[in-house]
Amino acid sequence: MIKRKPIQTLARVLGTLLIIAGITAFYFFIFNQANSITIAMTFLLATLGVATAWGLLEAIIASVAGMLCFNFFFLPPIFTFYLADTQNWVALFVFLVTAVVASQLSTSVKQRALEATRRREEMERLYELSRALMLVDKQSSTAGQISQRIAQVFAVDGVAVFDRETDQIYKTGAADLPISDTKLRDSALQATAFHDIQMNLSVLPLSLGREPVGSLAMYGASISDTALHAIGNLAAIVMERARAEATATRMEAARQNEAMKSMLLDALAHEFKTPLTSIKAAASSILDEAPPAQKELVAVIEEESDRLDSLVSETIRMARIEAGDLHLERRPQGAADLIKTAVQKLRILLEDRDIRIETDPALPDVLADAELVELTVRQLLTNALKYANPESPIIIRAAAADGVVKISVKDFGPGIAPKNLLKIFEKYYRVEDNTARIPGTGIGLSIARDIVKAHGGDIWVESVLGEGSEFFFTLPVAERLAEQKR
């Protein structure tokens, strides 16, 4: 409903009284031969006109003023409010009731017509807004463009849109909106709406059945609640669509990036392995004919070429796992053998380090991809080597429990803060304190997690600051898997 201004209301009341006074003067001084019915109908028509033009309040004032003037100046005895004839009392009452009822009906019809016009205009503006929002520039901020479009289409004093994803607030129009940034954020975070009638301010969360994607504030907007919520739904749809498109774009870029990475790795593998194969072949042929003094050197060349070949293969395998290209070739394997093989492949890095292997002699076999499980053990062991004190031992344990084999790697390093434990297996995550002084990429533990999960096992870490960390992972026992398949 449109709010009246006091000065406007006063002017209309005075205008109403002047109209009644003019009719009275006309019939009393100029056309004084008119009968009472004509005069009453004139007052009634004036009342209906006032009701149609201005509203019910002015119409009631016109009815009462017209009744008083009709009684005082035209019904005998004149110049008094006393009526000698009973019929005049009835006529006066009928006039008053007719004027009030007719005024109310006229005002109601006018109000409905105004509401219909207003709804039509709101629908037209909503359609215009929907077209404008469907054409937002993907290169610019979606929330900022929503704010601008709403302000332009609905001609409001000010609009503010909070984007929850970016935690940014975009304002258009009045720079000093009567709402704090904190309240605007709270509307989105708590999914609450509120209206301030005195300040003509409306705030509502933007959502489509899920958690709000933001919130909207409109200042100086004379629109219905239905239109306000429709604007909010349009804004939420556009923001959700922009978010979905951005996610799809990122996923496609990541897919293309992984495909390019895979192609590059295959090319690099070929470029590395070809000369390594040649070096190994040459070293092997020289080894047979080399004098005893050179055989040891040639053997080192052959051994290191094997090591480089293994490193290249492992790096490529890790990159493919990171890209999601993980294919298991599971067979029954002895857990103790897997651990020993993994340690053996790191023998050069493990020189002068105290590596202790503690395994149960009666360990059952696990159904696993040997290369991938060995890679997991090597990743955990390499991680322990980086962080543990060189003089402290590293303990590798394996034991059977509840249908699984639990393998762990324990170090006596600085430990991990509790706040970092949940993130330690995330891709590219590294503890901030160690980023500069300890080399690494932050993908080793995430690859270990992916391998273990692919085998149907679990992986976790237990750590105490200042005492060290112990990484655990489990693998299902081969017999148990066979029973489950039956």
Q: What's the predicted TM-score (pTM) here?
A: 0.49
Q: Which of 309, 325, 341 is the last residue of a domain?
A: 325
Q: Which pLDDT score is estimated for 433?
A: 59
Pairing verdict, β 404-411 and 394-401: antiparallel
Structure tokens at 227: 């239109």
Side-chain-side CA neighbours of residue 447 (13 Å): 26
All residues at 6 or more sequence positions from 478 whose CB lies less than 8 Å from its CB, including other chains: 332, 333, 364, 365, 366, 367
Grouped pLDDT means (10 residues each) for the chain, 486 residues: 70 89 90 83 84 78 82 81 65 69 73 78 80 76 83 82 85 75 82 78 81 83 79 84 82 78 70 72 73 74 74 69 72 92 83 87 89 90 87 92 91 87 81 58 82 92 91 86 48
User: What are the backbone angles phi and psi of residue 471, rounded to the nearest 5°?
Assistant: -95, 130
Separation of alpha carbons 367 and 390, rounded Å: 34
Same domain, 357 and 303: no
All residues at 6 or more sequence positions from 66 whose CB lies less than 8 Å from its CB, including other chains: 20, 23, 43, 44, 46, 47, 95, 99
Per the rule left: phi > 0, alpha: psi between -120 and 50, beta: everything else, 203 is beta
Q: Which of 58, 89, 121 is the last residue of a domain?
A: 121
Same domain, 80 and 180: no
Q: Which pLDDT score is estimated for 319?
A: 67
Nearest alpha carbon to residue 295 among 286, 303, 304? 286
Flag whether 130 is in a domain: no
Flag whether 131 is in a domain: no
Side-chain-side CA neighbours of residue 197 (13 Å): 5
469 sits in which H/E element: strand 468-476
Same domain, 193 and 307: yes
Same domain, 390 and 456: yes
Same domain, 83 and 164: no
CA torsion, ordered 310, 315, 320, 323, to nearest 10 deg: 170
The length of the chain, given as a count of residues: 486
Flag whether 374 is in a domain: yes
Same domain, 108 and 253: no
Structure tokens at 29: 């001084």
Pairing verdict, β 355-359 and 394-401: parallel
Total of domains in the chain: 3
Same domain, 363 and 387: yes
Flag whether 128 is in a domain: no
Pairing verdict, β 194-196 and 201-206: antiparallel
Q: What is the largest CA-CA distance in the chain?
A: 151
Nearest alpha carbon to residue 311 among 345, 274, 267? 345
Same domain, 306 and 338: no
How confident is the model over 416-449, as pLDDT tens digits? Answer: 888 888 888 887 777 665 544 566 567 788 889 9
Angle at 430 between CA 392 and CA 413, to 5 degrees: 10
**What is the residue-wise DSSP string for 8-35?**
HHHHHHHHHHHHHHHHHHIIIII-TT--
Separation of alpha carbons 328 and 325, rounded Å: 10
Q: Which pLDDT score is estimated for 486?
A: 46
Flag whether 126 is in a domain: no
Separation of alpha carbons 194 and 197, rounded Å: 10
Same domain, 154 and 260: yes
Same domain, 164 and 241: yes
Q: Which pLDDT score is estimated for 1?
A: 45
Can you point out the beta strands (E) in 414-458? Answer: none
**What is the residue-wise DSSP string for 317-329?**
HHHHHHTT-----
Nearest alpha carbon to residue 429 among 383, 364, 367, 374? 383
H helices of 177-224, in order, are: 181-189
Structure tokens at 17: 């009284």
Q: Which pLDDT score is estimated for 438?
A: 64
The domain containing residue 432 runs over which residues? 331-485
Flag whether 132 is in a domain: no
Flag whether 15 is in a domain: yes
Same domain, 317 and 171: yes
CATH code where residue 431 lies = 3.30.565.10
Amino acid identity, position 232: G
Same domain, 245 and 109: no
From residue 435, give the alpha-carbon distance in Å to each of 392, 439, 460, 467: 22, 7, 21, 20
Q: Which pLDDT score is estimated for 223?
A: 78
Q: Which pLDDT score is estimated for 234?
A: 84
Q: 154: exposed, middle or buried (C-beta count within 10 Å: 0-12, 13-18, 19+)?
A: buried
Nearest alpha carbon to residue 243 among 282, 281, 214, 274? 214
Q: Which of 121, 152, 171 is the last residue of a domain?
A: 121
Flag whether 127 is in a domain: no
